[in-house]
Structures are given as C-alpha cells and as structure tokens.
Amino acid sequence: MLDLMRKHRRWISPVFFIIIVSFVAYYGLSSKDAAKGGMVAEVNGKIISYDAYRQQLAQTENYFRSQLKDKADEFLARMDLKKMVLNNIINKEVMDQAAVDMGIKASDSELVEKLKSYEVFRDSSGNIDKNQMIAILKRNRIDPKSFIEDQKKEIASEKLKRMVEDSAVVSDTELWEEYVKENEKAEAQYCYYPPDFYMASQTVPENELKKYFQDNVSKYKLPDGADIEYVLVTPKDINSKISVTEQQAREYYNSNQNDYSSEDEQIKASHILFIVKPGTKPDEEEMIKRRAQKVLDEAKKGKDFKALAQLHSEEPLATATGGDLGFFGKGEMDPEFEKSAFSLAEGEISGLVKSSFGYHIIKVEKKIKPGEAEPFEYVKDEVIDRMKREKGKDEVLAKASEIRKEWTGGKSEASLEIRPVRTKIYQDEDIEGIENAKKFYTTAYALKDGEISEPVRLGASCAVIKLIKKESAHDPKFEEVRVRVEKRYKSERGMASLDSHIKEIVSRINKGESVNDIASADKVTVETTGMVLRSNVSSDIKNRGAFTAAMFALNSTKRAGYVIDKNGAYVIVLNNKLPVSRSDFESRKSSMRASVIQNQTEMILNRIVENYKKKGSITVSKEFEQLL
C-alpha cells in the first residue's frame, strides 16, 4: 500500500511511474545545457541527458533503500532498476508529446495554476514571483523557456488522461464478470509433474541422436563466439574489507547536504493503516474503525508506535518498515492524509484520518523547512550504505587490477586468489552470473588469442577476461553440440510423453478415479489450494496465471483439468466452488465502475504510448546501452 500512497505515482505502472523527486531532477531532462553531461536517449528530438538520468536513478534507489531498509538489496536485486527508470522517463516524454500531437493544449490559466503548485515560485501573497522563478531555474541550469514548455506538455498529458477517463464506458455485464473474478472462491487439489518426469528413464541410441541432429541442424548453428577464461570480482569478495565510521559518514553528509535537502517543506512520518476497500458495507467499515480506534488509544497511551504498526498495520511493507514513510513533501500523498500530517507537530499523533485507502493513524517524527537538509541521524544508514557502495566500486576495481597484474605476470590460474572460470560464450546470448553480457562479450571478442583484458566494470562487479580462441559463426559438428542435442531431444520426447500421460490422468479422474490413487502410483504429491480467491492462489505455483484460469474454469461436470508448459504440468481437481452474491455485487457496483474505468484508462494510455513509440524515433545511445 505504501507504493500506492503516492497519488498517481504507482511505480508498477509503465505510464504513471514518476519517482518522487524535485522539479529540478525531472526538468533537467529537458534542458539543452543538461545534454552536455552526455546523451542517454533521444525521444523524437528531445534529449535525455545522462546527468538527469543518473540523478533520477540515484533518487529512485535511495527512495527504495530508505523505505525498505535491510530488505532493499534483496528487492533491488529482483528489479532491473536502470532499465525501469530509463523506460519510465521515455514513456513520460512520449506521453507528453502524444498529448501535444493530438492538439491538446494548456490554457494560460492552467499554466498559472501549475506554476503556483511549486511553493518556491510563490511570493508571500501566494502569487507567482516571476523574477524569483527565473532566478531559481537559472541557478539550477534550467532554461526558463524550456521549463515552461515542459509544464505545458505535462498539463496536456494530464488533460489527455482525463479525456480518456471521461470517454470510458463499462457495461453491467463487464462489471459482473469483474466482480466474479475478484470475489469467486474455489478449492482444488493438485499435483505437479516436473518437465523431466520422463527424461531420467530415457536412453537414446547414438544413431537416433545423430539422425535427430541432422534433421534439426539449423537449430544448432553457432554464432560468433569465443573460448575464454575469466575472473569475476563481486562486492561479496571485498565486503569484509569495507568499513565506514560514523565520523566519516558525518563528514560525507556535511559535504553533500544538497543530496539530502529539498526546496519544499518536508516531514518524516509513520502511519498505521486499516484498509477499507471500495464498496465496503457501512457495518463492516464501522468494525474496521473500532479496531483502528483501539490501536489509536494504545498509541496515545505511549505504546511503541513502530511495534504497533508492525503488529496491526495492513500496509504490505509495515512489517519491514514499521510504518515509516520517510520524508515527503506536499502533493505526494492522498490529500486527506497530507492535510492531517502537515498539521501535526513533531512527535504528535493524529486522530483517525480517513483517506481513499482507509483509516490511518499518523505520527510525525520530524519537520524540516524548505532548503533544510534531513538531519544526519535520520539518514545515517543511507549515507553509510552509499559510501560503502562507492568505496566498494573502487575496491572491486582494485582487486580486479591486482588479479590482472598477477595473471599477466605469469602467476598460474590455480594460485590466483579467485580461480578463473573457463567457458564458451556466444554473441547475443546471456552469460550466467554476468550482469552485462553484451559488454562482456564485446570486450572478450576484441582481444587477441592469449591476451588478458583490462578490468571491465559490469554493474557492481569487475571482470578480467583471457581469450583462448575466437570462433566464427558456423554449422557445428555433432560432437560440438552433442550435450545440447541430447538434452533437447530428451526434453521433446519427455514432454510429449508427459502431455499424453497428463491428458490420460485427467480423463480418468473425470470418469471417477481418485487423484490420490493416481498420484501415489506416479510417486507425486497431492496438495490443496485451500478455499481461495483468484488473487490468493499460491505464488509458489509455476505458471500461476494459467493454473488459476484452469482451476476456476472447472465445475461439477468437469472436475479435473490440467496446465502444461516448459515448466512442467499440473493436474487440478476441483473440490468446491462457492457462489458469489448478486446482492453484494449490486451494492458495490458504483465503486467497482470507478475502479474498472481507472484500469481501462491506464490500459488505453499504455496503448497510446506504445503506438507513439512505434511511430516515433527513440534512440538509446550505444555507449549507455552497454551500461544497462
């Protein structure tokens, strides 16, 4: 829920994800001067500079780290943050350009209101101080004319969104189908058959394998490649050697206070959330409110707010963050939430605050004035983490350089501190454990036989590569790819056998046989989903979407079904399905309509962006691509 709290700023949406940054960070993208820092991409003639991209990337990463604390590394490892930030910057620019191209314009009054939304541009009476605005923009190396044009495009983009929302139409039939998808519950038994279920027992005659290779030789054509050895130095290899004292962190903070300050007033707050879903009945909401009031009473009596949030808050990240929202400014939260939060004094706890998400209990921990830096005590961990990452990059490079020196000096591979790995790599193929395979391959292929490369930065790691021998693209001999051929042949035969077996099982169950007896004979385990909504089907299930669709398509006439793909197969047997309430649907219809229209709007806007991207000219610099 934390990620949804930022009004219209859902980072999971490809169109609307705009990280919470100051206007300077974003509008640096548009400045011609900013392009001097190097071009990341060009969107229909509009340059996105590396300096602006780097600033937004850093603030995005710092935002997640401040929210997720010790969970951040695990979370960020699953995300391709560099590409995500670049794609969202590009999508935002495309959206703005699309709106202008459609003839949607910002009026003078709309522009004035937009400029007034920046507190730093207003005088004491609340009007725009033109001289002050120009001075601030120039101080941040932003061309005022470019800034105004970008403001107009952003207004046009918002108007486009509203136009799409206003034109969306949803029938009662569509709403009923959506209601059923969201509220229907079912319970099923299932058993999983791995893709290699039949492979282990297969023995393949050599002549049969060679014939298969000859019939499919085009599938095994080898691209340009190289036989190499390499050493990869990762942060894990040097983490134990990196330390940052509190004094060093404080000195770094004092030298970089601009990184921890904002042009606008900021507050640091925590909250405890009790969710009220759209369409919740009044008596149900009253129960939620009473539960929230009990927790509020405990908080007012002095109980630890963080512990209360971890125990009671329904925000998904509360267990990890203790309800901590970090620092935020005006315009970033739900209006009712924001109004209450900014009215509180430091250390004060609110009453129950009703927002579009439910009931909140808010505690303000710190307030800072415009231009003031967040206190060191609040950002100490963030500063230390940043310093460790920066020092880590240097240490990784130093260690890689040391290994290269030993390797080129004649030290044997076996005696190097990190043992080299020997492998074959091919153009345009992923390399296991390597973050930037394209850069790795390009470096290796540029070497001469026997040559050892300089250290190559690959994300947070560094590689030293030795070329054994280059190989040009060619049709391979059977012996070169025998292992791949055998694996593929067994996989195809095994999956064909598995497909036939699964269909037979489903037929037998639908005729009355027991899934438990069949599973026992096949030595696979029968599990149950429990009585679940579609959204609550276990994420441990491979191909969860297809599994869920197959499960909820079953009925009393057809009790068994299956899902099969490269990840294996599931046999699914329906135990029970609960009917959904028509009367409850009628009571929720209005709120559902708004939600469905919002989803439709996002889908249409995504289509608009994708269509304009296809028609337009979007170029990512080759130098920057190698860093992704």
554-563: average pLDDT? 94
Q: Which residue has the higher pLDDT, 170 or 406?
A: 406
Q: How far apart are CA 358 and CA 291, in angstroms?
A: 12
> What DSSP letter does each residue of 5-58 carry, written as one string?
HSTT--TTSTTT---S--HHHHHTTT-TGGGGG-EEEEETTEEEEHHHHHHHHH
Q: What is the mean pLDDT of the chain?
A: 84
pLDDT tops 60 at residue 20: no
201: burial class by Cβ within 10 Å (0-12, 13-18, 19+)? Answer: exposed
Please give the model's pTM, rounded to 2 decimal places.
0.48
Residue 276 maps to a domain: yes
Residue 368, strand partner residues:
266
Check residue 13 and give its pLDDT. Answer: 34
Return the exposure string of 415-454: e unless at least 16 CB atoms fall within 10 Å of the residue's CB, then b: ebeeebeeeebbeeeebeebbbbbbbbebbbebeeeebbe
Residue 348 is given by DSSP the state -
269-277: average pLDDT? 92
Question: pLDDT band for position 412 (50/70/90)?
Answer: confident
Residue 116 maps to a domain: yes
Residue 584 maps to a domain: no
Question: pLDDT band for position 29 (50/70/90)?
Answer: very low
344: burial class by Cβ within 10 Å (0-12, 13-18, 19+)? Answer: middle
Q: Tell me the per-residue pLDDT of 199-239, one tens digit each, with 9 for 90 and over.
A: 656 678 889 889 989 998 888 888 888 999 999 998 888 87
3-state secondary structure of 232: strand
Check whether residue 517 and residue 565 sit in a common domain.
Answer: yes
Residue 309 maps to a domain: yes
Number of domains making up the chain: 4
Phi, psi for 246 (deg, rounded to 5) = -65, -35
Check whether residue 442 and residue 535 sit in a common domain.
Answer: no
Check whether residue 484 and residue 466 sit in a common domain.
Answer: no
Check whether residue 9 and residue 144 sit in a common domain.
Answer: yes
Tokens of 173: 């039939």
Check residue 17 and give its pLDDT. Answer: 33
Any idea how long the chain is? 628
Question: pLDDT band for position 450 (50/70/90)?
Answer: very high
Residue 71 maps to a domain: yes
Q: Give first-to-last CA distance, the chain, whole Å.
A: 29
Q: How far apart are CA 2 and CA 599, in angstroms?
A: 19
Query: ∠111-112-115 over CA atoms, to 5°?
Result: 85
Check whether residue 515 and residue 407 sit in a common domain.
Answer: no
Residue 583 maps to a domain: no
pLDDT tops 90 at residue 290: yes
Check residue 627 and give its pLDDT. Answer: 60
Question: pLDDT band for position 628 (50/70/90)?
Answer: low
Query: ∠338-341-342 over CA atoms, to 5°?
Result: 85
Q: Which of 418, 453, 474 is the C-terminal boundary of a domain?
A: 474
Specify the range with the lowest mean pLDDT, choosing from 8-22, 441-455, 526-540. Answer: 8-22
Residue 201 maps to a domain: yes
Q: Which of 474, 489, 513 is the C-terminal boundary of a domain?
A: 474
Q: How far apart are CA 396 and CA 383, in angstroms?
A: 20
Residue 474 is given by DSSP the state B
Q: How far apart are CA 31 and CA 48, in angstroms?
A: 9
Check whether residue 28 and residue 79 sit in a common domain.
Answer: yes
Range of the domain at 423: 222-237+389-474
Q: Which of 421, 454, 474 is the C-terminal boundary of a domain?
A: 474
Check residue 200 and give its pLDDT. Answer: 59
Check whether residue 320 and residue 363 sit in a common domain.
Answer: yes
Q: Which residue has the higher pLDDT, 523 or 382?
A: 523
489-511: average pLDDT? 92
Sheet holding 358-368, edge to edge: 324-328, 266-275, 358-368, 353-354
87-100: average pLDDT? 87
Check residue 277 and give its pLDDT. Answer: 80
> What DSSP letter does each residue of 576-609 carry, written as one string?
EEEPPPHHHHHHHHHHHHHHHHHHHHHHHHHHHH
Question: pLDDT band for position 50 (50/70/90)?
Answer: confident
375-396: average pLDDT? 84
Check whether residue 35 and residue 145 sit in a common domain.
Answer: yes
Q: What CATH number is associated with residue 279?
A: 3.10.50.40
300-319: average pLDDT? 88
Q: Which residue has the higher pLDDT, 94 or 278?
A: 94
Q: How far apart are CA 252 and CA 256, in angstroms?
A: 6
pLDDT tops 80 at residue 11: no
Check whether residue 334 and residue 411 sit in a common domain.
Answer: no
546: burial class by Cβ within 10 Å (0-12, 13-18, 19+)? Answer: middle
Question: pLDDT band for position 3 (50/70/90)?
Answer: very low
Check whether residue 469 and residue 485 sit in a common domain.
Answer: no
Residue 327 maps to a domain: yes
Question: pLDDT band for position 241 (50/70/90)?
Answer: confident
Check whether residue 277 and residue 366 sit in a common domain.
Answer: yes
Q: How far apart are CA 191 and CA 573, in angstroms?
A: 9
Question: pLDDT band for position 22 (50/70/90)?
Answer: very low
Check whether residue 458 and residue 547 sit in a common domain.
Answer: no
* β-bridge pairing 560-565 and 225-233: unpaired
Check residue 623 and give its pLDDT. Answer: 67
pLDDT tops 60 at residue 35: no
Query: ∠538-541-546 over CA atoms, to 5°?
Result: 100
Of 535, 516, 431, 459, the closest CA to residue 183 belongs to 535
> What DSSP letter does each residue of 178-226 carry, written as one string?
HHHHHH-EEEEEEEEE-TTTTTTT----HHHHHHHHHHTGGGG-B-SEE
Q: What is the dihedral of CA 140, 141, 144, 149, to 10 degrees?
A: -100
Q: How far apart are CA 568 and CA 423, in angstroms?
A: 29
pLDDT tops 80 at residue 308: yes
Question: pLDDT band for position 12 (50/70/90)?
Answer: very low
Q: What CATH number is associated with residue 80?
A: 1.10.4030
Check residue 621 and give its pLDDT. Answer: 80
Q: Tell me the per-residue pLDDT of 574-625, one tens digit each, with 9 for 90 and over.
A: 999 998 888 888 888 888 888 888 888 888 888 888 888 888 888 888 767 6
Question: pLDDT band for position 462 (50/70/90)?
Answer: very high
Q: How far apart are CA 216 and CA 177, in angstroms?
A: 46
